[in-house]
Structure 1
Amino acid sequence: METTIVLEKEAVENLLPQKFPFVMVDRMFAYSETSLISGLNIKKDNIFVDQNIFLEAGLIEHMAQSVALHTSYQFFLKNETAPTGYIGSLKDIEIKKLPEITDTIQSTITILQEFAGITMVNIVTTLNDEEIAKGQMKTVLAK
């Protein structure tokens, strides 16, 4: 996938259920039915920044919101309102490095399985093409 910005900050924020100051995705680089590449430029005022470091909780929230963006964008393309989604489980989360303010991270989500509103995804987060976090997440859509 290429890294051209498909959606900028305002469009992404309109698709996500989270609102400022809890938005952890500010761009979408690529989308397909089975994958998405999202990004976040880490700013000093981010609620998950401590001593200029983006904390583990922020990385995991960024990963979760990347999954939410994929789901919301699918519904947007069908002119439908996206239902609320929840994290069902996290599996094999590995955080290798924490980014700092002014860094821009990218997460690639790949749908592994989707059935009856339950989605299992693989997520890899990079900083300057270096893998800094990865894992799997199961999300559940509210009925």
Structure 2
Amino acid sequence: MKNIELPILDTTFVENLIPQKAPFVMVDKLLLFEENKIVAGLTVSNKNIFTSNEVFQESGLVEHMAQSVALYTGYQYFLKNEPAPTGYIGSIKTIQINRLPKLNEQVETSVTVLQEFMGVTLVDIISRVNNEVIGTSQMKTVLAS
């Protein structure tokens, strides 16, 4: 198993842990990784395809949440020296967006794995800006077979 020091702020390294590629990358930091938990980050920029009028749009925040889950899986596989599988959102049970992040704000998203079974992962997700909860979700992600 590899020993990498967290946080990982190298955007290229983080991008290589997920199947999405530019311009569709919605995570740029891996802040914390533990068994059944990850904290991912994103700095909202005008270069992001989901930023409009200096505000990160709902669809971008939902994708950021999903990619935070993908980062959890990708980092698990990286630590085992195995290629990460591709996955997708199987279902979104709940989602609530309290506000949208603005240009240059740092979004930190905590993903807690509730259950993992045969490639299906059920997670609780909380996104924050400066400790303010801006969105929550519960999703199931599914690994492609």
> Quick check: TM above 0.5?
yes
Q: Aligned residue pairs: how many?
A: 140
> Which stretches of structure 1, 4 residues or longer, exceed 3 Å deviation after superposition?
none
Aligned to 2:140: 138
- Cα deviations by residue, 1:47-69 (Å, 9 ceiling, x for unpaired): 00111110000000000000000
- Cα deviations by residue, 1:18-64 (Å, 9 ceiling, x for unpaired): 11111000000000120000000011121001111100000000000
Percentage of identical aligned residues: 52
Unaligned runs of at least 5 residues, structure 1? none
Question: Which of these residues, 91, 95, 102, is aligned with residue 100 of structure 1?
Answer: 102
Aligned to 1:109: 111
Matched AA of 1:63:
M
Aligned to 2:67: 65
Contact 1:33 1:74 in 2 (8 A): no
The CA distance in 1 between the partners of 2:136 and 2:102, in whole Å, is: 18
Cα deviation for residue 7 of structure 1 reads 4.5
Unaligned runs of at least 5 residues, structure 2? 1-5
What TM-score do you get using the length of structure 1 for normalisation? 0.95
The CA distance in 1 between the partners of 2:69 and 2:30, in whole Å, is: 11
Aligned to 1:121: 123
Cα deviation for residue 82 of structure 1 reads 1.2
Cα deviation for residue 8 of structure 1 reads 2.2
What TM-score do you get using the length of structure 2 for normalisation? 0.94
The CA distance in 2 between the partners of 1:14 and 1:84, in whole Å, is: 12
The CA distance in 2 between the partners of 1:91 and 1:102, in whole Å, is: 29
Cα deviation for residue 6 of structure 1 reads 3.0
Aligned to 2:11: 9
